[in-house]
Structure 1
Amino acid sequence: MNETDLRTEIAAERGELAAMLGALAPGDWDAPSLCEGWRIREVVAHITMAYRYSAPRVIFELARSGGRFDRMLDRCARRDAASVPAADLHASLRDNTTHPWKPPGGGYEGALTHDVVHGLDMTVALGLDRRVPEARLRVVLEGLGSPRGLKYFGVDLDGIELRADDMDWSFGSGTPVTGAAQDLALVLCGRRLPAGRLRGERSARFAAART
């Protein structure tokens, strides 16, 4: 995709996620997401941080977190989830579909990946049957399967082939683990999926523990 197409898809993804959030029951905001330790409201706080924080504030928060970026993101998401009303978080996403934010070094491909993955963190955890359009998924899968993406998430896929059953895409070699392409994108991000979403003799390693 060129930049114009990417920004169009980003705006569409954010708009669809905002519509999904607008239809949730109040209690759903406190349901767990696929992001370990985060509820739906922490995920939304994280997604909208880029729209709510100025560059100087990001630098300030990073300094407060000892220069550790992941620690800053977790601390801010938890604090904002506790202090910012869900309606305000929802409005921040709804009103910023065309915001030009890009992750450092990630470009608009990274922005699309960020929104798609965190959207799936919510919809899969809530059991919502939302399908990400294939054009967006191909951008996401290309980035997650790149050397940079694999290094960042550090998922061990040695001896495993991820094979989508709803589009022409596979990754790796070895024992097949099959499922929807968007679920396999979550595997590349190190997420644990609800039981039954993947198939293959080694699929259990990517499933969430039963409670």
Structure 2
Amino acid sequence: MSDELPHYASYKSMNTLTTRKDGLMETDSAHLTTETRAERERLADLLGDLAPEQWDTPSLCDGWRVREVVAHMTMAYRTKAIQVMAGIVRARFSFNRYADRDARAATQAMSEAELLGLLRRNIDHPWQPPGGGQAGALSHDVIHGLDFTEPLGLPAAPPERIALVLAASRPRQLKYFGVDLGGRKLAATDSGAVVGDGSTVVEMTSKDILLVVTGRRALNEVPQASR
């Protein structure tokens, strides 16, 4: 199971981006908050239309169905920081192991309607992952949204929203997900997003770039990419 981007920044994009002293790009926090809320509402609406059997569809997170992904997305709304730390300790200091246990326990304890209700009630929740800021919160929802919308054949987040997540990507994120671009630069055909600094440009959609850099899809599995 792969999780969301752990930390954040860099690419060229929209008017909401400003240049920092280190040359990287930074997005206005208020805009990120608006986009995070919009993504949560979008995903809740999609989940509200699912048939019961679709909740059991395998997701892009290894070993998780749609219901476990949704349970994980609600973890911050169900647990306090001290509970998370205690759970990580019990999981021998592995966040992924703890997150897996939590998601499975939540799906045993809560129905689809309860999980969806929890998600809807927390669309405006101020949670941010430690060290990730508002960009981390948006990344969490957009990436895990893809984990269930892709196998269900549902729409992804708008390209401009995905581009904001890609703006938070650094080389260490590629390493975290075990991704090697092999000297290639990924350039979005539907936004200004660019990831990587290689000499060979590979063009694809913003969605496909995000799937590649988070280890959800191999680069050679993107059929429309022009190399």
TM-score, normalized by length of structure 1?
A: 0.85
Q: Paired residue for 1:135?
A: 160
- Displacement of 1:21: 0.3
Answering whether residue 91 of structure 2 is matched by residue 79 of structure 1, we say no
**Matched residue type, 2:50:** L
State the distance in 2 between where 1:131 and 1:123 align. 7
Q: 1:152 aligns to what?
A: 176
Does the alignment pair 1:166 with 2:190? yes
| TM-fit CA distance, 1:59 | 2.1
- How far apart are the structure 1 equivalents of 2:168 and 2:30? 18
> Given the superposition, is the C-alpha separation of residues 198 and 165 from structure 1 closer, same or farther in structure 2, using an over 3 Å criterion?
farther
Alpha-carbon distance in 2 for matches of 1:115, 1:97? 11
Between the aligned partners of 1:71 and 1:4, the Cα distance in structure 2 is 33
Counterpart residue number, 2:208: 183
| Gap runs ≥5 in structure 2 | 1-26
Q: How far is 1:200 from its partner? A: 4.3
Q: Which structure carries more relative contact order (alpha carbon 8 Å, separation 6+)? A: 2
Aligned amino acid, residue 2 of structure 1: D
CA distance in 1, matches of 2:144, 2:31: 20
Picking from 13, 38, 43, the partner of 1:12 is: 38
Alignment of 1:15-164 (within 5 A): 15-128=41-154, 130-144=155-169, 146-164=170-188
TM-superposed deviation, 1:164: 2.1
More helix by share: 1
Q: How many equivalent pairs are there?
A: 199
SS of 2:167 mapped into structure 1? helix
Contact 1:50 1:101 in 2 (8 A): yes
* Contiguous gaps of at least 5 residues in structure 1: 203-211
Calculate percent identity across the aligned residue pairs.
49
Q: Would you say the 8 A contact 2:40–2:123 is kept in 1?
A: yes
- Pairing 1:192–2:220 present: no
**What CA RMSD, in Å, does the superposition of the two structures yield over aligned residues?**
2.1
* TM-score, normalised with respect to structure 2: 0.80
8 Å CA contact 1:164, 1:179 repeated in 2: yes
Alpha-carbon distance in structure 2 between the residues aligned to 1:56 and 1:196: 41
Tell me the distance in 1 between the aligned counterparts of 2:141 and 2:225: 28
